[in-house]
Copies of this chain bind each other. A is one copy, B any other.
Amino acid sequence: MIVRQAANVLEIMEFFAQTRKPATLAEIADHFGWPRSSTFNLLATLSEKGYLYEPRPRAGFYPTPRLLAMAQMISEVEPLPPWTHTLVADLSAETGETASIVAPAGVMAVFIDVVESQAAIRYFATIGHRVPIHATASGRALLLQYSQEERDSVYRKIEFKQYGPSTPISIDAVEAELRNSIDRGFCQSFGDYSRDLAGAAIPLPIGGRRLSVVVAGPEFRIGPRVQEVAALIARTVDRLRPKAAA
């Protein structure tokens, strides 16, 4: 069950992140199609907790720096080493596609760092974006780092759906694809999850954390050069990863 008002809080904050200017109660209510009274209660709650204020009288609400302060606290622990951001930045620059660092989240994989392609047609993803772990290159690069038991445990919770023509719709299909990936030397996906979307990924274990790097983009651009892209990922990781660390 989704907790509506919890989601609404996030949506309001995302709204401010997009518009980047103060908004009145009425504007917010209209934007989301929420009743004024409900919007009023929400804004009052956020204000009371110190996350919203009124920069100038009658000009509407805007978030206080409190959210930033909190987010910085949270992110200071176990931050990704700086070279991982260089990694995705370099990969995106060299391939012209979207590059990301991905982490596991149950049956899903979450993007925890993203550098987007500059191309007009591109894979649009943001930090926090989630995709099924078994039906994506990046996700399978995570699964490769699991033990058989851990994978089985994940499989039990997966609801196998036919996202696209090539989606693996059984445990066996996923396991087979994982074996292929090992032989091939990297993980790939051609429209397994999202139509026309292709990607190449490899595992990226960092200090006990199971992560992966992926380069993804439209099938017509990635397809002809998956090998090449995968090799580039591997080389770039080799170049940037400190030699001492695991």
Residues of A within 8 A of B (CB): 1-10, 13-14, 16-18, 20-21, 41-42, 44-57, 63-78, 103-106, 108, 110-113, 126-130, 146, 150, 153-154, 208-210
- A67 to chain B: closest CB distance in Å? 4
- Copies held by the complex: 2
Could you give 9 example pairs across A and B, Cβ below 8 Å?
A1-B41, A6-B45, A10-B51, A17-B71, A50-B110, A50-B130, A63-B74, A68-B72, A69-B127
Of B18, B74, B112, the residue contacting A16 (CB under 8 A) is: B74
Min CB distance A138 to B, Å, is: 13
What B residues does A127 contact at CB under 8 A?
A: 50, 64-66, 69
- Report yes or no: B70 in contact with A13, Cβ–Cβ below 8 A: yes
Q: Which residues of B contact A77 (CB under 8 A)?
A: 20-21
Tell me the complex Cα distance, A8–B45, Å: 10
**Cβ-defined contact, B44 with A128, below 8 A:** no
Contacts of A8 in B (CB 8 A): 6
Which of A1, A21, A110, A146 has the most C-beta atoms of chain B within 10 angstroms of its own C-beta?
A: A110
Contact in complex: B71, A68 (CB < 8 Å): yes
Query: Knowing A45-B6, A67-B74, A105-B47 touch, does A53 contact B110 (C-beta < 8 A)?
Result: yes
Give chain B residues whose Cβ lies under 8 Å from the Cβ of A150: 57
Q: Do B56 and A209 touch (CB < 8 A)?
A: yes
- In order of increasing CB-CB distance, the 4 nearest A-B pairs are A50-B128, A66-B128, A53-B105, A17-B73
Whether A13 lies near B74 (C-beta < 8 A) is yes
B6 touches A46 (CB 8 A): yes
A77's nearest neighbour on chain B, judged by CB, is B20
A10→B9 contact, CB < 8 A: yes
